[in-house]
Amino acid sequence: MAIFKGAGVAIVTPMREDRTVDFEQFTRLLEFQISNGTDAIIVCGTTGESSTLTHEEHLEVIRYCVETVAGRIPVIAGTGSNCTETAIYLSTEAEKMGADGLLLVSPYYNKATQKGLYAHFKAVADAVKIPILLYNVPSRTGCNILPETIVSLCRDVENIVGVKEASGDIGQIGQLAALADGCVDIYSGNDNEIVPIMSLGGLGVISVLSNIAPAQTHEICQSYLDGDAKESCRLQLKAMELCKALFCEVNPIPVKKALQLMGMGSGVLRRPLTEMEPANTERLEKAMKTYGLL
């Protein structure tokens, strides 16, 4: 059974001016998501600035998220690392804290072979019992998890159940779906590809857009799941310009700015990320107004 179907939010980690985690604001963001129909919370992923959190902060954010959500919807914890032992440590701790699942990004910088990727993911999975989604985002990691490797892992390892696919290569994702023959739960990792990936058998999206438009992103997915592909496509196309604006600078710079524009302060960014350029802020604000968020 899938961890979730529909729209899971890759939630931001709000920061105070001193760049410590703002747990009070985090509560508000979590409640906003749940009350607007988000199907799952994905915490401490790329959008959550996990790469700049200490291990202690990383685990505290996961613990707080699990306790605040309190079983209302699934919580999937980002616990990947380019060090296998670190990924095992974060994953086992997240499991103890009550996470419903894990999201494991492919090891970055190392550029492991497919054999190395298989060994890495299997070692982490063998250390826990909860379900795992792989995260394929070669534009960030410099490493592409090939369809054959994903299928082998999902067939060979009981608790590796799917993948967040953010390669942007629809042909590769189609090849994955064909090879998998239903054994891999596929989620779009890009908001502008929700409908194309669901048309290949995907179950939904792990979404940046959901941070600011949770009800609308849920509806894109739910319409498709309900059999109304035409309505799902209409909603996807309506969101396209906003999706582009949310990635006109590196994620999560634009989405944190978008939350601020909505009066839902997400706080500052951690270095080396910097504040959004004024021209891009103007572009983002215009797209949000057109979409009806402002």
Enumerate the β-bridge partners of residue 171: none
What span, in angstroms and rounded, lies between the C-alpha atoms of 68 and 129?
A: 22
Q: Where are the alpha helices (DSSP H) in 181-268?
A: 194-199, 214-225, 229-238, 240-245, 253-261
DSSP 246-284: TTSSSTTHHHHHHHHHTT---BPPPTT--PPPHHHHHHH
Catalytic residue among 118, 135, 187, 224: 135
Enumerate the β-bridge partners of residue 206: 8
Catalytic residue among 164, 187, 224, 256: 164
Non-local CB neighbours of 1 within 8 Å, separated by 6+ positions: none
Q: Clarify whether 115 is annotated catalytic.
A: no
Q: What stretch of H or E contains 187? A: strand 185-188
Nearest Cα to 105, choosing from 65, 128, 131, 77?
77
What span, in angstroms and rounded, lies between the C-alpha atoms of 19 and 169?
A: 36
Omega before residue 147 within 30° of 0, cis: no
Angle of helix 114-126 relative to helix 147-156, nearest 10 degrees, comes to: 30
What span, in angstroms and rounded, lies between the C-alpha atoms of 25 and 20?
A: 12
Q: Clarify whether 289 is annotated catalytic.
A: no
Nearest-Å Rg of the Cα atoms of the chain is 18
DSSP 96-134: HHT-SEEEEEPPPSS---HHHHHHHHHHHHHT--S-EEE
Q: What are the residue numbers of the active site?
A: 135, 164
